[in-house]
Structure formats: C-alpha cells, structure tokens
Amino acid sequence: MQKCERKHSRCSISNESLPTRVIDVTSLTLRLVESKPTSTGTYAALSHCWGMCRSFLTTRSNLADRKSGFNIDDLLATFRNAVLVTKSLGIPYLWIDSICILQGDKEDWEIEGSKMADVYSNAYLTIAAANAAGDAEGFLKARKPEKILPVDIRFASSEKNIDEREIGIYIQPRCQPTTVYEPLDGRAWCLQERCLSPRILFFDTNALRWECIEKGWFEAGRGFKRQRLIVQEVIPRLLYNGTISYIGWYNMVENYTTRAISYPSDKLPALSALAAYAARESNDKYIAGLWKGDLRRGLLWCRQVRRNFRAHEPSKPFEDVRKSLDTAIAPSWSWASFQSAIHFTVMDPSSTDLEVLSCTNVIDVSIIVPGKNPYGEVASGYLIISAPLISFATDIGWDTTDVSEIAVNRAWEHNVLLCPELEIDISVESSFDHPAEIRCEVFGLPLTFSVDTAGNFYEEGDHIGRIKGDGEGWKIVHGIILCRKDDGGDRDCYVRVGCFRIHPVRLSDFMARVTEMPRRMVKIV
Ligand SMILES: [Zn+2]
C-alpha cells in the first residue's frame, strides 16, 4: 500500500470527497456520520456478498440510532472483519452499502446507487471479502499456507564441472488471479466495484492479493500486471486511427452476464455505476447496456453455450432464461433482457473486423428510465432502423417441442434457416434466444459483415469447386432475427428473437440482392 501511494501516479485518489454516509471507526463506539457535500476524508469501501443472512441494515427509522453510535459486536462477521482491517490500516472511515444506504427506501437507494461510481473510485482502498459467500461468514479465516508458499527443492549434482555446492529449484503454485473462483467473482454487483476501485485488497481463500491500477501482488511476493476489469479498459476509447473501440466494454459485459444476480430487475442497476463513469469519460450515450456510437455491433449478441460457462456459474434451469415480454426488464434488443450468459459476435477471434453494412441505418433510439438513476432500470424502449428485411423459411429440421437442455443448446448453435429470397448459394446459421420463438414467422435484419476466413481458405484450395475470386473475397453477413410483436397493431413493430450469420457471400452479390428489396422502417421494442 505504501509502495502504491508513493510510486504509482495513476493510482492516486484525485477526489477525496466523502460519500453521503460513512462509518467512523476511530473510536471504540462506531458511528454513522452524514457528511456535507464539501466534506473530505480517507475511507475504505467494502465489496462483499450479502448472502442469506441480513441484519443490522440501516433504515430511515433507525438512522438516528446509528448516528448516535453502535458496538462492533452488533455487526455480522464480515462487517466486524472490515472494521478491524480499516482500523489497523489507520483509515478513519468505512463505507458499507447495507449500513450507509437506507434499506427499503427506494428514493435513497436510487440516489445513492447513482453515486456508486464515486464511492468506489474515490475510496482510498476497497476491501474485497472475496472468500465469504455471505456476511455471516467473515473473511478473516484460517488459510492453508501450503497452497501458496513456495517450495525449495535442493539436490546435489554428480557432474564434475559443477562444484560441491547444492543447487536447487524453487517451485511456487501458479498464482493467477483466476486460479480459484471466489464467491465474490460470481456476484454481478461486485464487478463494477472491482472495475471502479483504484486499489483493492482481496481476502482470497488461500492468500491476500493486492490489485491497484498499476500493479498486482500476491501474498507470497510475486507480482503481476493488472490488465482487465479496470475502468480504464472498459471505457469506449479513441484509437490512433480515429475509430472508437468498445471491445473493453463488450468483454466486461460478457463477464458480467456469467455472474449471479438475486433480482433480475437489478440487471442494469448493478452495472449503472460503471455505465455512469464510462458515459462521463467517453461522452457517448448509454442505452440499456449498449452505446449509441456502436449500436449496430452492440446488437449482435447471442446466448453463450453452456460449455463456455465458468465453473462457479450456478446451473440455470432452462425456463429461467426465457425472456418474458410481460415482465421485460429491458427492450428485447438489449442483452440485459436475456437472463443468462451472452456472447458478442465482435468478440469472436474471427469476427473482430466486423464492419457495418451501408444498407442498414439506425434512425432513432429511445428508452424510458422510470427511476432517478439515468443508468439504472429501463421501463421500455424502442429502436427504429431503416433496413431491408430478409424472410427466412422456418422449416429448420429439428423438433421444436424438444426443450431438453441438450436439444436446446444444439439447436441454438447449429440450426440452419432457409433463405429463398436471396437466391444465392449460402447457408444461414441462427442462434435463437428461445426455441419457442422459432415457430413464428421470422425475419433477418442484416447489420454487419466480416471476412469469412474459412471461405477464403477453401477458395484457395479450390476443393469445393469455387471459381477463383475477383479479389473481393468471401464474407460473412451478421444480423439479428426478428418476429412481429403480437399486439395486432403496428405491422412494422418487431421483437428480437435471435441472431444469424449468412456465409459465404460475395458482398457485392449480397448488396445487389438486398438493394432490390424494399427498404423498411423497422421498429424493434
Ligand atoms: Zn498502485
């Protein structure tokens, strides 16, 4: 911590203003302090898994008691541990969400929730109770030193040119931040806390771990470079060639959607602090988990198949990932509407060169935010896109009544749609969000294209009889699958039900076909 404070210019806290409420830990009796907007000070913030046991929550009715003072023994184990760590590091204040935000008070929660970016990014230190699945557990536990301490193996050599001295090898367990998945790694709320904190002290199962913006250290002494999941990597940023990269954001969202969340309606709020920070820094407009500056790429997400899930991901019954339009927590085109892990096409190693199609333009996008946090819950929203709509034949050759896990994963990944309208020799691969949605009439809205590496390879080998190219090369066209919103009204109102890719295509052939098709004003809700 001292090394970081003295030597790391990027880690220094530029804004020392205190959160609205903090716990004063300087005396034996702890006190909740309400700060003024001008108050400054040094504080630690706690990142923790709440777990099942909830006690000592601050509410509007007990606020006065909390301010007059309370005993450390009144707190759950994780909070007692956090007070102890804060005190022993000489930090005067501690911020814990369940004590410093009024619980059960929607207005206070929304106001304080929208300030969460500042709470974590201005904290002198974030204490990560990584090894505790719930607040009753505590994180200062006995550890197993044999799991982290290096082993010195010495042996003598029989070779003559090596003198009598002993030589040895020094073996240390492979200490990667991802070696052990801690309970904290699986919780959705904790991702933004991690990204926003300039300095984090992790209390892992086997060791202490330090991560600041510039460096990371394990307790056994080995350092590592902190590369991902820091806010600087997540913000949309201008590249040297004048384009803006959103890859860091998409990478973070993929990680986020593998994490567990207790209430589906928290899906966007639990990311809102990070979104607020990124919007402020990038000047881009944040729309239900996506960015206005990159919508045509951002709309291309699909369900991540189960095999890619991380080991800790709790198994989700198939029914739970179903999108229900009645209880939608985001528009159907937002990844936040889908209650399981997603994958962005632009994150495919073969599709990083995703370019937008000139035939498709975003005309308007709008969302309705019901609460006080502009980056939080979304009540509804629409997207109006000017594009040709491709009709897909729904005879896809698999049993849509079979909704077993295996059948569904297979269908999501491999079913092939027929596309008579385009009349070119192509295959359409589709990934449906839910197999029931496959039964309705479906349309393809093309968004982007990328180089078809495999298609060009075959062409060179010439073993599928394709004529040598004209230099244009084979491409893959990517888009989303829509079906009409079933409300009997607007025929051009659709919902997203999946995504597709058409390949291999010559872009000039494809564009010639779609240019002949009528351009539609498509509203997607
Ligand atoms: Zn540092």
Give DSSP secondary structure letters for 285-317.
Answer: PEETTEEGGGHHHHT-EEEPPGGGS-TTPPP--
At 230, give phi and psi (nearest 5°): -120, 145
Å from CA of 191 to ligand 1 middle: 19
Å from CA of 215 to ligand 1 middle: 6
Å from CA of 43 to ligand 1 middle: 16
Helix (H) / strand (E) element for 459: namely helix 453-461
Contact 396, 413 (CB under 8 A): no
Å from CA of 247 to ligand 1 middle: 24
Q: What percent of the chain has pLDDT over 90?
A: 43
Q: In this predicted structure, which of 47-56, 119-128, 386-395, 412-421 has the lowest mean pLDDT?
A: 412-421
Q: Can you give the pLDDT at residue 64?
A: 96
DSSP letter assigned to residue 437:
G
- In sequence order, what are the residues at sequence separation of 6 or more whose Cβ sits closer than 8 angstroms to the Cβ of residue 145? none
Å from CA of 255 to ligand 1 middle: 24
SS3 448: strand
**Distance separating the N- and C-terminal Cα atoms of the chain:** 49
Q: Per DSSP, what are the bridge partners of residue 382?
A: 366
Q: How confident is the model at residue 87 (pLDDT cuts 50, 70, 90)?
A: very high
Dist CA 219 CA 122 (whole Å): 25
Alpha-helical (H) ranges within 89-164 are: 97-100, 106-114, 116-121
pTM comes to 0.83
In 230-341, the DSSP E strands lie at: 237-238, 244-245, 286-287, 290-291, 301-303
Tokens of 419: 């596309």
For residue range 411-439, what is the model confidence (pLDDT) as tens digits? 544 445 666 666 655 567 777 776 555 55
Q: What percent of the chain has pLDDT over 70?
A: 75
Contact 153, 166 (CB under 8 A): no
Å from CA of 202 to ligand 1 middle: 14
The mean of the pLDDT values for the chain is: 82
DSSP letter assigned to residue 260:
B
Tokens 């084979």 found at: 474
Contact 370, 377 (CB under 8 A): yes
For residue range 201-215, what is the model confidence (pLDDT) as tens digits? 999 888 888 999 888
Å from CA of 2 to ligand 1 middle: 9
For residue range 140-193, what is the model confidence (pLDDT) as tens digits? 998 876 666 666 676 666 666 655 555 666 666 655 544 567 889 889 999 999
Q: Cis omega before residue 504 (within 30°)?
A: yes
Å from CA of 14 to ligand 1 middle: 13
- pLDDT at 325 > cutoff 50: no
More confident: 379 or 135: 135
At 115, give phi and psi (nearest 5°): -100, 5
Contact 274, 195 (CB under 8 A): yes
